[in-house]
Amino acid sequence: MTTPASHARILVVDDEPDLRTLYELTLLREGHQVDTAENLQQARALLEAHRFDVMITDMRLPDGLGMALITDIKAQARNERSIVITAYGSAQNAVEALKAGAFDYLTKPVDLKQFRAVVASAVRSVTPGSADEGALFSKPTPGVVAGALGQRALDRLIGHSQCMQQIKTRILKVATSMAPVMVTGESGTGKELVAYAIHANSHRVKGPWVAVNCGAIPETLLEAEFFGARKGAYTGATQDREGFFQAARGGTLFLDEIGDLPLPMQSKLLRAIQERRIRPLGSNQEEAVDVRIVSATHRNLSQEVQNGNFRQDLFFRLNVIDLTIAPLRERAQDLPELCQVLLARIAQESDTPVPTLPVEVLQELACLTLPGNVRELENLLYRAVALGDGQSLQLDRPVQGTTTLSDSTLDALEFAAAALPTREQIAPEPVAGDLQTQLDQLERSLLLQALRATQFNRTAAAARLGLNLRQMRYRMARLKIDAPGTEDNPDDAAD
Ligand SMILES: Nc1ncnc2c1ncn2[C@@H]1O[C@H](COP(=O)(O)OP(=O)(O)OP(=O)(O)O)[C@@H](O)[C@H]1O
């Protein structure tokens, strides 16, 4: 019989009897089944005999480091989620444990509320059927599989180049832990799409997705925006306000353009991440933080650290796992598929037939440096469609540089182009004749245009169309328009 996810089987490893008992009682009270060990040897024996949902281990044990258990679990491809308890101030240990595959960590002295929250989060993330005796007779652990929402988020990332395939595999791998992820890549390479796919494939998918552009917030408002503010904390604060950390509780906080954060705010963010507590402006009470942080930057942050513009300790904290997206010019094989999908989207928005993409245009595109990557490609294609005769495309070349294609790139490009579906295969469904359907289609394309022009910020898109956010949400739901952050959590999305 499999343990229900909310009543998990948990192994606690700690050499201090009082702490062991405290953790055990806390977990029993939550309805979990608990086994305890006081050293590595006992823990290994228990792990050999049973499968658990979660293992909680102290870092320092009489016969070695708790890290060894995390490494064992990883090496044996077991399903246990490990939580490591580290001494206060040993940030390095926590980061190393996360890198070694720990699900999460806690710092001593352990706050029991936080302890329960972290365990609950680990239990929620466990693949059903992975623990207890039932699992001993079950088939080998399947690989990580995306849910429907997660799959859709992955599908939005167009491209089958080696880089994109690796990125998708890594998204699935890193999604299951709480370790902070940093997504790097040039502007327009899809960092936000990747970050959202991590959220959509994590056990936090039912929680909010809050995307923040750190570079777009005036410095004086940063603290209140991040941590919230109490009524009267500053002129104009007429009521209590939630910050990003509160809004993202139980979900993912995406900190885009993290390199733009000024140094004083970097210190405050570091403290919030390290201590997992925040204090809203004007409040004398701290609140526990329960968010997973994914950050992104187009800057070279190591360089920024060297130049003294970014705190090394914060970099270290945020960059536990890094995902780097190659620029489009280094993955020319993605170009045909990207053009095809983007052109189909543009055609649908403007209710015109999908134009053909002559191979010469494709080659011309592949020669461009495209510093703005996919976003720039999108804009180029928009202009090309507008300038074209409705059948074939005409490229309005940007002023920025070009590169010469190597023979292998040309081959890859031609191969990828040949594998694309034909125009007939991707032609949109013919429009049904009735007025309401046609009006719906027109409305849909106008909403999509506004959303795309505002990076899917629904508030800004609504304003462009003279609507309020509620009307926008209603129309998007009615016309089944998905946008990053709007599925499942319409109230918690980026805007
Ligand atoms: N692989 C991809 N497949 C489909 N669309 C993509 C891909 N990469 C980027 N895009 C599109 O390009 C645009 C920019 O993507 P996104 O905002 O995720 O990039 P970014 O790297 O976060 O950009 P910035 O650094 O400017 O914040 C979006 O419209 C996105 O849908």
- For residue range 393-432, what is the model confidence (pLDDT) as tens digits? 777 665 555 666 666 666 666 656 665 554 444 444 444 5
CB 167 within 8 A of CB 197: no
Q: Helices in 351-434 by DSSP H: which ranges?
A: 359-367, 373-387, 407-418, 423-426
Where does 172-273 show beta strands of DSSP type E? 181-184, 209-213, 252-256
- Please tell me the distance from the alpha carbon of residue 191 to that of residue 323, in angstroms, as a whole number: 9
Q: Which stretch of DSSP H or E encloses residue 394? A: none
In-domain check, residue 224 = yes
Say which range, 28-37, 106-115, 143-152, 347-356, has the weakest mean pLDDT: 143-152
The residue with greater pLDDT, 483 or 9, is 9
Start-to-end C-alpha separation, the chain: 44
CATH number of the domain bearing residue 123: 3.40.50.2300
List the domain range (segments joined by +) for residue 216: 148-324
Quote the ipTM score: 0.98
The per-residue pLDDT for 202 is 92
The per-residue pLDDT for 40 is 95
Do 351 and 256 belong together in one domain? no
| Global confidence as pTM | 0.72
- Which atom of ligand 1 lies closest to the CA of 185? 21
CB 146 within 8 A of CB 259: no
Q: Quote the tokens at residue 451.
A: 């959303």
Torsional sign, CA 242, 248, 249, 253: negative
Do 306 and 347 belong together in one domain? no
In-domain check, residue 130 = yes
Do 208 and 318 belong together in one domain? yes
Q: Looking at 301, 324, 347, which one is the last position of a domain?
A: 324
In-domain check, residue 298 = yes
Q: Does residue 345 sit in helix, strand or coil?
A: helix
82 vs 26, 403, 440, 466, CA distance in Å? 17, 48, 50, 50
Do 313 and 340 belong together in one domain? no
The total number of structural domains in the chain stands at: 3
- Taking the centre of ligand 1 as the mean of its atom positions, its distance from the CA of residue 187, in whole angstroms, is 8
Share the mean pLDDT of the chain: 82
Do 85 and 162 belong together in one domain? no
Residue 168 pLDDT grade (very low, low, confident, very high; cuts 50, 70, 90): very high
pLDDT, tens only, 84-97: 998 766 667 788 88
Give the torsion through C-alpha atoms of 389, 391, 392, 396, to 10 deg: 30
Amino acid occupying residue 374: V
Q: Quote the tokens at residue 364.
A: 């011309």
Do 181 and 298 belong together in one domain? yes
**Which residues approach ligand 1 with their CB closer than 6 A?**
156-159, 185, 187-193, 256, 296, 298, 374-375, 378
Residue 125 predicted with pLDDT over 90: no
For a mutational test of ligand 1's pocket, the pick from 375, 376, 380, i.e. the residue with the most ligand atoms closer than 8 A to its C-beta, is 375
The per-residue pLDDT for 434 is 67
CATH number of the domain bearing residue 412: 1.10.8.60
Q: Looking at 261, 290, 324, which one is the last position of a domain?
A: 324
Residue 167 predicted with pLDDT over 90: yes
Do 34 and 124 belong together in one domain? yes
State the residue for tokens 């289609």. Answer: 441
Do 383 and 286 belong together in one domain? no
